Amino acid sequence: MKLFAMVVVLAVLFTGATLVSCGGSTEFKLGGVGPVTGEAATFGVSTKQGIEMAVAEWNAKGGVLGKQIKLYFADDKGDPAEGATVYTKLIQQDKVSAIVGTVMSKVTLAGAPIAQSSKVPMISPTSTNEKVTQVGDFIYRACFIDPFQGTVGAMFAFNDLKAKKAACIFDVGNDYTKGLSEAFKAKWEALGGQLVGYEAHATGTTDFKAQLTKIIQQKPDVLYVSDYYNDVALIAKQARELGYKGPLVGGDGWDSPELVKIGGAAVENGFFTNHYSPADIRPIVQDFVKKFKDKYNAEPDALAALAYDATYIMLNAVKTAGKADGSAIRDALAKTDLGVVSGQVKFDANRNPIKSAVIIEIKGGKQVYKTTVNP
């Protein structure tokens, strides 16, 4: 009887001890967000792969804060309302301590205020619209911003393509494409270029002929298309059908294997600014490309690279903070000085890293690295 009582007491004590140790959570919860479905689904697929690969590498080395990292990944469908829903779910239900996401600026702008008011630090791998990090001090990004990207595009068109007359076409319902065209226009005019067309189209449209006809009548030397790849491919096809033979220039939103699949010959003589090139010979890049190919049997695009980088930046900050506390992680993020695939990352006062851009040419159905442009 006595022995039985002792066993019971021990069992209670043991269970209690186990419960206490579980109370502090045995894993570090990391949120991830990307558009795995919707208008730009390859963006989300690449992003998820990049985050998962980084998390697997950290876990193989013991995780962070002495715990394994558990990833809670959510699909925002490329939709701002859905983005707000999944940010709320990750924070309130899954109780993540930090978020890597999301991709499209218009969706990040819907999620960021939720992370900010909940004091959950987040880093967008790829949202380039200037307003994103202005949401608050918990909001970081791993990429350059559109004022820089538009400037690089305008200088390339003016100096390298020797264009004198440019026209822009953009999605008026998308912060990214609208902002990027504005940045291109500002630099283009500052350089003394002539702007012969500036045409908006609605989100979800597939017929761009009215805008393109108007633009092409003005005989531009270059067409700046700041859309995402699906729209770019259709715009290129329709512009070619209408007789436009000149170069097309655009931004990182072109980066998808789908661009040449849909656009075919129409996207040849196309150039876009991007964050990284898998052809970069730096060892950190080649090592990443090899590991990614081994794991996913595909070449990593910029979205995969930046998602991988953003995850490293965030986990490095968690490690530096020494605890899963939002404000401590935020403060550690501010002090980041880390070499990642897309470059050396240090944040300015607006939580934006200063990074170089690459220019990619579409040639023979492939993305060919042309040059690197420093800020």
- Nearest distance in Å: CB 125, ligand PHE: 8
Angstrom CA distances, 113 to 4, 102, 175, 233, stand at 57, 13, 16, 33
Calpha distance 226→249 (Å, rounded): 8
Position 12, amino acid:
V
Calpha distance 324→97 (Å, rounded): 6
What is the length of the chain? 375
- Nearest distance in Å: CB 169, ligand PHE: 16
Whichever of 97 and 127 has its CB closer to ligand PHE, that residue is 127
Q: Compute the radius of gyration of the chain from its Cα atoms.
A: 23
Binding site for ligand PHE (CB under 6 A): 43, 103-105, 126-129, 176, 252-253, 255, 302-303
Residue 188's H or E segment, with its range, is helix 175-190
- Nearest distance in Å: CB 227, ligand PHE: 10
- Nearest distance in Å: CB 316, ligand PHE: 22
- Nearest distance in Å: CB 128, ligand PHE: 4
- Nearest distance in Å: CB 243, ligand PHE: 29
The strand pairing partners of 235, in sequence order, are none
Instruction: Report the candidate in 93, 360, 84 with the shortest Cα–Cα distance to residue 249.
Output: 360
- Nearest distance in Å: CB 251, ligand PHE: 7
The strand pairing partners of 29, in sequence order, are 70
- Nearest distance in Å: CB 124, ligand PHE: 8
Calpha distance 256→268 (Å, rounded): 15
Calpha distance 142→357 (Å, rounded): 13
Whichever of 131 and 214 has its CB closer to ligand PHE, that residue is 131
Whichever of 163 and 359 has its CB closer to ligand PHE, that residue is 359
Whichever of 103 and 167 has its CB closer to ligand PHE, that residue is 103
Whichever of 178 and 330 has its CB closer to ligand PHE, that residue is 178
Angstrom CA distances, 271 to 30, 35, 42, 289, 335, stand at 36, 24, 19, 22, 35
The strand pairing partners of 361, in sequence order, are 271, 368
Whichever of 39 and 255 has its CB closer to ligand PHE, that residue is 255
What lies within 8 Å, CB to CB, of 213 at 6+ separation is 242
Whichever of 73 and 228 has its CB closer to ligand PHE, that residue is 228
Calpha distance 172→124 (Å, rounded): 22
Whichever of 247 and 250 has its CB closer to ligand PHE, that residue is 250
Calpha distance 182→161 (Å, rounded): 20
Contact status, residue 42 vs residue 257, Cβ threshold 8 Å: yes
- Nearest distance in Å: CB 43, ligand PHE: 5
